Each structure stands twice: as C-alpha cells, then as structure tokens.
Amino acid sequence: MGEKGRSKGCVGWFLVVVILALVAGAVVITIKKRSESHDDGGDVGPPGAVQKKYADALSVAMQFFDVQKSGKLEGNKIEWRGDSAMDDGSQVKLDLSKGMYDAGDHIKFGFPMAFTASVLSWAILEYGDQMGVVNELDAAKGSLKWITDYLVEAHPSPNVLYIQVGDPNTDHGCWERPEAMKENRPLTQVNTSVPGTEVAAETAAALASASLVFKSSDPTYSSTLLQHAEQLFTFANKYRASYSESIPEVQTYYNSTGYGDELLWAAGWLYHATGDHTYLDFVAQNGDDFANFGSPTWFCWDNKLAGAQVLLSRVSFFGASGLSSSVQSSLQKYKSTAEAVMCGLLPKSPTVTTTKTDSGLLWVSEWNSLQHPVASAFLVTIYSDYLLTSKTGTISCDGKTFKASDLRKYAQSQADYVLGDNPSKMSYLVGYGDNYPQFVHHRGASIPADATTGCKDGFQYLDSTDPNPNVATGGLVGGPFLNETYIDSRNNTKQGEPTTYNSALIVGLLSGLVTSSSVVRSFK
C-alpha cells in the first residue's frame, strides 16, 4: 500500500529495450508473414524458431491483465476474480466500469492506464505475429480493448476527460477484494478550466496507437478511437498545463514532471495512424523545446521521450515521401538521440551508464526497480529490429560499432534476470518458474475468494504470515534492491507490488524475444 512511492518510480536518465538476432528454440513453427496475420502491413519476413522460455513467460505475463480487470468479467479466466466497480461513472451517467486497476489497489489512474495501452498497442503492432504463433495475440487485443473501451467512455466531449475513478486516501484506508467495495468512487476530470496536458496527450497516444491495432479487424471501432485521439491531442495542445499543477492531489501517486514528452509521443502516434504530415511538423517545431536532443532519458509512465525518439526513428529508417528538409533534419535528431539511449545501455559502449547491479541489471530506483530495465530492453529490441529490417546493420557509440545482435543480447540479459537468472534465483514474474514471490502486495490475491470482509477487517490478511491464497499470475513485482536482495513481504510495497504498466512492458519485451523476425515498415 506504499503507493506513494510511485510518484518517485519513474526517474533518472534514460531508457531502452530489446534486441534482435536469431534465437535458438526448442520448438520450430512456421508463421505467416505479419501482413497476413494482424493489423498492419508491409513486406516482412516470417518469424523463426520459438524460444520456449520466453513463450512460456509471455503466456504467464498476459494473465495479469485479466487479474486487474474492472467491471463485468465476461469469459473470466481468473477463478478468484469476479465483477467489480459496476457503478463506476454512474453519478455522471457514464459507464466507467471497465478499465484496469493500476496495481495492488482499486483506483483507476488514467495516466498510467493510458501508458499501459500505448505500450501494449506498440507491442502488438511490432510483434503481433510473434504473439500469434504462441496463441497470445487475441488475448493481447482483448486486454487492450478492455482499456480503450474505458478511455473512450472517459472522454464524453472534446475537452473533457475523466482521469481517475476512486479516492486514493479512502481506497488505501481499506484492505478488501474489489468485488466487496462499497465505498464512494468519486471522479476526477480535466477540462478547459482544469487542464491536464500530459494525461490528455497520453490518452491520445493510447487511442491513436490502438486505432492501428484494430484498423483491419474492426475499422468502425478504429475510426472511433482515432477520432477521440485527435480531439484529445487538440485539447492537450491548446490548453497546456500540467495536471500535477491543476490537480495537486495527483502528485502523491502519479506526479508528472512535464508534458512535452507526452505531446511528442502522441504526435508521433497520430502521424503513424493518420499519415498527416502536420504531426511531423509538430515534432519538428517543438523538438528543441521538448525532445532533450542528445541527452538520453528513461522510458516510463512519466517520461515518454525515449519511446517517442525510437518511434520517430521509424520514419528515418523506413522513409516517408514529401518531407521538408527541416523535418528530415529534426527526425535525424530524434534518431540520433534514440541511438544515444542504446549506447547508454550496451555493456561495452564507451558511454554505458554505470547505474546497474553487480550482475548487470539496469538499476535506477528502489521503487519498482524492474520497470526501467524491462522498458529499456523493450526499446532495445525494437531498435535492433529496425536496424535489421532497414539493413542498417550497426550503430556507432563514440566510434565503437555494435550490431543488432549486440542489442538483442543485452535485452535478453535483462529478461533472463527477471525470469530467474539472478543471485536470488528468483523469478520476479509471478507464476513463472518454481521460485517466485508468495507475498505479493495485492489486495485481491491476499484475501480468500470466499472471505467476507469490510473495509477494515481485511487488514488481517495484509498482516498475515501465510502466503497469498490466490496467485496474481503474470504480475511483475517491483524487483530487487541495488544489492540484489528481495524481501518477500506483503508490506514491502517498494519491491513486492505489481503494476499493469509493468505488465505491458514485460509483454512487449517477451513478445520481441519469443522468436526472431523483421518488423513491418509501416503500421498501415
């Protein structure tokens, strides 16, 4: 319940992700080309052999989205979960029952939820064929839609966005299953009088990227998502103000350090979704103010710069017609900064960061320490695939050359650490392997499904010395301290609380590593 630490959990210098090379696998399966298997296009090669370790881990990781779902659980696959928060939004005649709880509590925080959707969309767009071969693509799209249905409903008019359901102080004063909640669930919104640029822009990014995911399978829904995305971007850009300043109460949990990164991130996704060059004009014109060119940053729920730089590097790698020289020049700056992120991660790079454990895990913050190495590895994987697909082949870090396979090797090292290749021999992915956390900080997992509790008497389960009766399968816990120790205690929220945005990142990373493949040149 130490959720206050989340506002400190996305800090530091830079972020990246997973690499690419041929993977040795126990199971060899022939897969359709990506243009035939999910909602994008382009000439791509089929994936190669499946690596069972990553496939098994991906299957586990996907289940946490089901654990976190709010609302009426159609086709519920988690036996200890049931319907919850069915009246959310009813006070303003909206159905906000869907969406997902952010972590071990029952608040719907729109800022990290939208980031979860953006990352999950990106993972599907880049690696949907790889998800498909291990039978996880439909589940990924279903989980994404569970969030985007909520986000659409939370945007009832162009300049109004509901960004939170529930009161954190009330919620954190209770320890109960979501199915048993009886407390009031107040709503928080941003509008023209109380603007929130970063949360509106992040929601625009989520809906724009998701519109690409559903473009072929459900074009009507895709168009609806894109319409909301364009309205939200206009609202975010026209009424510029941080939601942390407009609504100081949000600083305790998901405090924002600025909105420029979200505007660039949203514009990048809107360009890919629409092909409208005015969005590239936007990132070019605002780059000097917002992009922090030349200085790598971390990719996380609060800072999207590294993600935006990698996403925009797509345009430089794979080309776009009709770009002005000034836009091309600006896009090269984004690409160069994305490479600086990569160079800051590669172990033998002259510019590698020294912020890592003795075993090589990237380490930035003791609160939710695994979000940074996993997010970085996800970006590294994507970038390595861009190198291969574009036949660029290498990057240069202060004169030292690295191949795509070097990037992939780094990404695998971070994934393997998470899955148990660490001094504790513990899997930090709940439900994967034989040794994983048993005292996860998660209300629903800690209380027997047949228990009858109110707000306060449920704390007996928080304080219990027995392992959780329910497994929060797929949850990626916060992770180890810098000295690589992990204290498996339900009260240890710094290390033991899983989050949905962690899940989106590990799903993206594992999807990129499950087999080798080139990426599509265009999402359309």
Q: Mind giving me the DSSP string for 415-474?
A: HHHHTT-STT---SBTTSSS---SS-S-HHHHS-TT----TTTTHHHHS-SSPPSS--TT
The enclosing H or E element of 115 equals: helix 110-133
d(CA 32, CA 41): 12
Distance of alpha carbon 490 from alpha carbon 441, whole angstroms: 5
The residues assigned a catalytic role are 105, 441, 488, 497
Q: How many Å apart are CA 360 and CA 232, to the nearest integer?
A: 40
Which DSSP string do the residues of 400-421 spell out, in sequence order? EEEEHHHHHHHHHHHHHHHTT-
Write the DSSP string, 33-67.
-HHHHSS-BS--PPP--B-HHHHHHHHHHTHHHHH
User: What stretch of H or E contains 333?
Assistant: helix 325-343
By C-alpha distance, which of 219, 307, 237 is closest to 279? 237
Cα separation, 176 vs 194, whole angstroms: 32
Cβ atoms of residues 16 and 341 within 8 Å: yes
Sheet hosting strand 187-190, strand order edge to edge: 108-109, 161-165, 187-190
Give me the residue label for tokens 């509008």.
191
The Cα 82–Cα 69 span in angstroms is 9
Structure tokens at 43: 């000439």
For residues 498 and 472, give the distance between their C-alpha atoms in angstroms, rounded to a whole number: 9
Number of neighbours of residue 441 by Cβ within 10 angstroms: 29
Beta bridge partners of 396: 401
**DSSP 3-state of 189:** strand
Q: Tell me the residue type at 345.
A: L
Q: Which helix (H) or strand (E) holds 236?
A: helix 219-238
d(CA 296, CA 336): 10
**Sign (positive/negative) of CA torsion 50, 54, 60, 62?**
negative
Strands (E), 448-512: none
- Burial-class residue 26 by CB neighbours within 10 Å (0-12, 13-18, 19+): exposed
Nearest to 405 by CA among 18, 53, 107, 13: 18
H or E element, residue 163? strand 161-165
Q: What distance in Å separates the CA atoms of residue 309 and residue 43, rounded to the nearest whole number?
A: 23
Would you say 390 and 377 are in contact if contact means Cβ atoms under 8 Å apart? no
